[in-house]
Amino acid sequence: MKCQHCRIGHYQSIQVPYIQWHNGRILVMPHAPASSCDVCGYMEYDAAFIYKLDYLLDKLSEQSPNLAPKQAHPIFIKSAQWSPTRRS
């Protein structure tokens, strides 16, 4: 199938990571099906995969209790204080 973006290349089936926020949590699918153009590199996820994933996430949201933490605390990472130094 010809690329809809550059209209020169053809799509090749690939597997790429898929990352999505869901109910305050991050969902990572390391090997999501996708297609990539062999000329311009345009990439799009498999539409059936996205549809099925959204369906499953909707079903999961309806049935599972809210597992999100009740109170979120910001995370502060202590780092070395930056201070200007002057060398002359």
Positions touching Zn ion (CB under 5 A) are 3, 5-6, 9, 37, 39-40, 42
Nearer to Zn ion, 42 or 49 (CB): 42
Residue closest to 11 by CA, chosen among 21, 20, 22, 3: 3
Shortest distance (Å) from residue 18 CB to Zn ion: 20
CB-CB contact of 33 with 47 (8 Å): no
Could you tell me the two tokens for 39? Answer: 């000329």
Nearer to Zn ion, 9 or 33 (CB): 9
Nearer to Zn ion, 3 or 53 (CB): 3
Shortest distance (Å) from residue 53 CB to Zn ion: 25
- Please, which residues have CB within 8 angstroms of residue 45's CB and are 6 or more apart in sequence? 16, 18, 32, 33, 34
Shortest distance (Å) from residue 48 CB to Zn ion: 21
